[in-house]
Amino acid sequence: MKILPLNPTEHSTPAALRTFLEQCAEAARSTGRPQLASISVAVDSLDPLAVLESIFEPKQLHFYAERPSEGFAVAGAEAVLEFTASGPTRFSAAKEFMARTLEHAIAVGPLNGDFAGPHFFMAGGFAHEAAPGASFPALRLFVPRWQVSRRGDVSVAVANMLITRELPLDFVTAKVWKAHTKFRAFNYSAAQDHGRPSAPKQIVEIGGVDSYQRAVTQALAEIGRGDYEKIVLARAQQLTTSEEFHPLGVLNHLRQHYAGCYAFSVANGAGQSFIGATPERLVRVEQGRMFTESLAGSASRGQSASEDAALTRALLQSEKDLREHRVVLGSISRRLADLGLKLEHAATPRVLGLANVQHLHTPISAALPAGVHILDLVERLHPTPAVGGTPRDRAIAAIKRLEPFDRGLYAGPLGWVDHRGGGEFFVGIRSALIDGRSATAYAGAGIVAGSDPQKEFAETELKFKALIEALTNA
C-alpha cells in the first residue's frame, strides 16, 4: 500500500482532498487498475453503534463488533470491494485477494493508530461450503465505504473509495468532504430508536423434541468405540415473534449486559443479520504477537456469592471439564506446530465468569514468525475443539451427520484484518440469524466420555435462555 505524506486533519480543505483523489486517479490511469483510496481522520469521540444507527440501511452490508471490557467498538457499512470464496482454500484465497487489493491502494491519515486505514471485514461459515439457499456464503469479506471506531477515548473515521481513471472527481470530492464534515461533528438526531420484539409467541426445536439427547447418546457410543475423542453438538431453535427483529436494537442490549463478550452483527445486504455475544476469541495479531485462548469446560453461575464460589470450585476440580479443556489446549498446540510458534500459557486454567455461565479459560500467546499471516492462523485454528471436536475431521463429519440443520455462520470465524496484517477474529457462538419476525438461535455443548445427555441438554437450555432474553423482551 502506498502512503502519501498528507495529514487530512492539518490539510482539511476540499482542494487538498481533490488533489489526493487526482493522484489516485493518475495512479489508476498509469497502472490500468482501479485504486483503493483510503482517508483516515481522527475525530471527536464517536459511538460507532450510534453512527451505525444513523446510517443503517437494511440492504447494505455491515459489520459491527464491540467488546466493552476491552474498550473498543468498530462499525463498517456499505461495500466498496467485496470477495467471496468457498472450499478448503477459502482462507488462502481471501489472503491473496487482500494482498492484490493493497498492491493498488493509496492511503492518507494517521495510519499507525488502532482501526486506521483500510480494513477487510470477514464472516466465515463453520463449513467450507454453504448450504443451498444459505443466507451467507462460506466466506465473505468486504472493504466498507464508511468505517468508524473507538478504542478507549480515541475515535477514527475512515472513508474508502474505489478510484478509476474516469471517476468524476468533483462529485466524489464533494461527497467525501460532506461525509467527513459530518463525522467531525456527528449529529445523532437522525438515528431511530430500535427496540427488541416481545417474547416469542412460538419456539420450535429444529429436528424435533428429544433429537438432541438422541444425538448425544449416539455420539457417546461413537466416542466409546474410538471414532473420535470429543465432539461439540449444537441445537437450533426457531423463534417467531409478533414484531420484527432489528440488529441494532439487540446490539444495544448485548453491549450493556455482556461487557466481557464480543457483541456483534453481520448483515448480508438482503435483510438478514447474524448477531450475538460471544466470549470466545479465535485469534488476535498485534505488533508481531498472536493471542488466542483455550475456552472449554462450563458451569452455571450461582444466585449468591457462596453458591457461585462453590460452582467455580467444582468446575476447577471437575475431571470431565478439565479433560475437555486439555483436549482443546493440546489441539491448538498441534495445529500451530508447523508455523514455528512457541506458545506461552499458564500450566492450569483459570475461570472466566460471564453473566450466566462460567468457563475454564487459558490465554495463549506467541511471537509471530515473519511471513505468517493472521489468516494462516485462522485456517489452522478453525474450528477449534471448543466448537468442533477432536480429531477434527472425524468430529466435523459426525457433526454434519448428527445435527439436523446447517450451521451457517454459527461457530464460524468472524473478524477483520488491517492493512498492516494485524487483526482480530472471534467465534460466532451464543448467536442467532435474524430475519424479519423470525430468528434461528443456536447453542451447543462439548461431548466427551462421561457426558450425560440430560446434563448437556440442560447446558444448552441455559445458553438458550440467555440468548432469548437478549433477542427479545422475554
**Which DSSP string corresponds to 336-390?**
TGGGT---EE-SS-EEEE-SSEEEEEEEEEEEPPTT--HHHHHHHHSSPTTTSEE
Burial class (CB in 10 A: 0-12, 13-18, 19+), 420: middle
Residue 57: active-site member? no
373 phi, psi to nearest 5 deg: -95, 155
Grid cell for residue 161: 473509495
| Locus of grid cell 487498475 | 33
Q: Name the catalytic one among 229, 230, 293, 463.
A: 230
Locate all alpha helices (DSSP H) within 238-282, ordered by sequence. Answer: 247-257
Asked if the peptide bond before residue 349 counts as cis, ω within 30 degrees of 0, the response is: no
- Rounded distance, CA 197 to CA 463, Å? 19
Q: Name the catalytic one among 53, 280, 403, 456.
A: 280
Locate all alpha helices (DSSP H) within 65-185, ordered by sequence. Answer: 90-103, 169-184
Q: What is the CA 125 to chain-centroid distance, rounded?
A: 11
Grid cell for residue 358: 462460567
Residue 230: active-site member? yes
Active site residues: 230, 280
